[in-house]
Amino acid sequence: MKKFWDKFDPEGNHLLLCFLTVLALTLFARSFAGAAQAQVTVSSSQSRAMTGKFQTFGTLTPMGTEQYAIPEGLVIEKTTQIGTSLEAGDVVALVAPGELDALLTRKGAEATQLELRIEGLLEDNAPSMDGVTTAKEAVSDAKDVRKECKEALTAAQEALDLAAEEEKSAAEAAVAEAEQLLYNAEEALSDAQAQLKREEAAYADAQTKARRERKSNQAEARVLQLDLEKVSAELAELESVRNAGYAVTAPAKGILAELEGNYFAMTNPYGGNLLTFSLEAEDADLLTARTKITVSREEQTVEMAGCTAKSEDGERTTFTAPMVKTGWEPGNVTVSGILWEELYDACVPIGALRRDANGYFLFVLERRANLWAVEQTVRKVYVYPERMDGVYAAVSGLEPGQQVVVTSSKPLTEGSRVRVMP
C-alpha cells in the first residue's frame, strides 16, 4: 500500500485525503439531515372544471285533490261550476271590489300600526348622563375654588409673617378670613363629590333598568314581528286577488272539485306522484325550475326539471315537482343534481389547504440546486378559495403548474426542507 502512495506527490496525497474526508462527512451529514426531513406528497395545481352537486332524500306522494285557501274576510260570487277543467290563472270566483278595497285598507292600517309599535319598542332607551355631567362640572368648579382659597391663605400667611407690629392685627384678620373661605370651599367640594356619587349611582340604576326594559321590548317586538309577517302575507294574498281583476284564480291546471266560502279544491288531471325534497338555503338559492335533477330508486332512474320552491324555514327550503306517467310507487327516493359548473385555472386537492389566523394558505414546493444535490424546501403562500366541491379547491394567488404539499409526515413551517415521496 505504501508503494502505491509513493507514486504520488506527498502534498497531493494530503490534499486528496482531505477532499475525500470532507466528501464523506458531507454525504454522511446530508444522509442524516435527509432522514430528519419531512416526507411529503405533492400535487400540481391545474385547470379544472368544477361542479357544485347536491344529493338528498325525497319522497313521492300520490297527486290527488289539493285545497287552496280563499283570503279570510272575502265574500265570493261562485262563477265556475264543479267539474270544470281549469288552466292556471282561470277565474274560480269573483269578489266585490268595494269589500276587497276596504279589507285591504284595514289590513294596511293594521300593518302600519304593528310597524310603528315595533319601531317604538326598538328605539334606543339609554338613560341620560346630564345629571352625572353637571355633577362632574360642579366638582371641577369646587376644586378650582378650593385651589384659589388655598393660594389666598398662603398669601395672607406670608403677609402676616412680613407685617410690622402695628399691621399684625389686620394681617391676622385676613388670615382668619382666608381660613374660613378655604373651610367653606372644602365643604362645598365635599358636597359636590357626594352629589356626583349619587348621580353616578342613579345613572347605574337607570342603565340596569334600561337593559331589562330593552330586553323585554325586544321580546315583545319579536312577537309583533310574527303578527306583522302574518298580516303582510294576508295583504299579499288580497293584492293578488285585486291584481287578478278582483278574482280568485286557479294556481295550476286541474279540475275544480269543491268551492266553498273559504277554500276551493282542485283535482290533478294527470295522476302520478308529487316529488318533495328540501335543500339547505345556500344550495336552494341556486336551484331553479330549469335545473335538471335525477330521481333514483334502486335500479330506477329518471331525469326531470320543473322544481318549484314551496316553503322555507330559514335554514332549508322545500321543493316540489310533479312526476307523471312514471309508474313509480309512492315512497322514498334519492334526488341529486348539478347546481353550477365553472372552469378554474388553479385547482388543488382540498387537503392541501391549510388555515391560520391570517387566512388560507398552501405550502408551495421550491427546488434549489447546490454542489451536491437539488434541495427541496417549502414556501408559505396565502390564497383565497374561490370554490370547493368536496374534493378540489379553486384558489386565486397561485400559478397553474405549481406543486403544493398535500400531506406531510411532520409539521411544516416557512423554509422547511422536505423529501417528496412518490
Domain ranges within the chain, ordered by starting residue: 65-95+247-268, 97-245, 269-340
Beta-carbon contacts of residue 422 (< 8 Å; ≥ 6 apart):
none
Give the architecture-level CATH label for domain 269-340.
Sandwich (2.60)
Q: Residue 184 is placed in which grid cell?
A: 367653606
Residue with cell 316553503: 311
Here the cell at position 384 is 383565497
Cβ atoms of 268 and 66 closer than 8 Å:
yes
Distance CA 275, CA 321 (A): 5
Angle CA 250–254–258, to nearest 5 = 75
pLDDT in tens, the chain (422 residues): 455 545 545 555 566 666 666 565 555 545 545 556 899 999 999 999 988 889 999 998 877 778 888 887 777 888 888 888 888 889 999 988 988 899 999 999 999 999 999 998 888 778 888 888 888 888 898 888 888 888 888 888 888 788 777 787 888 888 888 889 888 888 888 888 888 888 888 888 888 888 888 888 889 999 999 999 999 988 988 898 899 899 999 888 888 888 888 888 887 766 678 889 999 888 888 888 788 899 998 888 888 887 877 777 778 889 888 876 667 888 899 999 988 888 999 999 999 999 999 999 999 999 887 666 678 999 999 999 998 888 899 999 898 899 999 999 999 999 999 999 88
Distance CA 153, CA 174 (A): 8
Question: Under CATH, which number does the domain 65-95+247-268 receive?
Answer: 2.40.50.100
- 0.85 exceeded by pTM: no
* Grid coordinates of 77: 260570487
pLDDT of 285 reads: 86
Cα-to-chain-centroid distance, residue 376: 40
State the Cα–Cα distance between residues 225 and 241, nearest whole angstrom.
24
What is the maximum alpha-carbon separation in the chain? 130
Cell 279544491 sits at which residue?
Answer: 265
The pLDDT score that the predictor gives to residue 32 is: 47
In whole angstroms, what is the distance from residue 287 CA to residue 300 CA?
23
pLDDT at 56: 94
DSSP E strands: which ranges in 153-227?
none
CA pair distance 382, 363, nearest whole angstrom: 9
**pLDDT score at 1:** 47
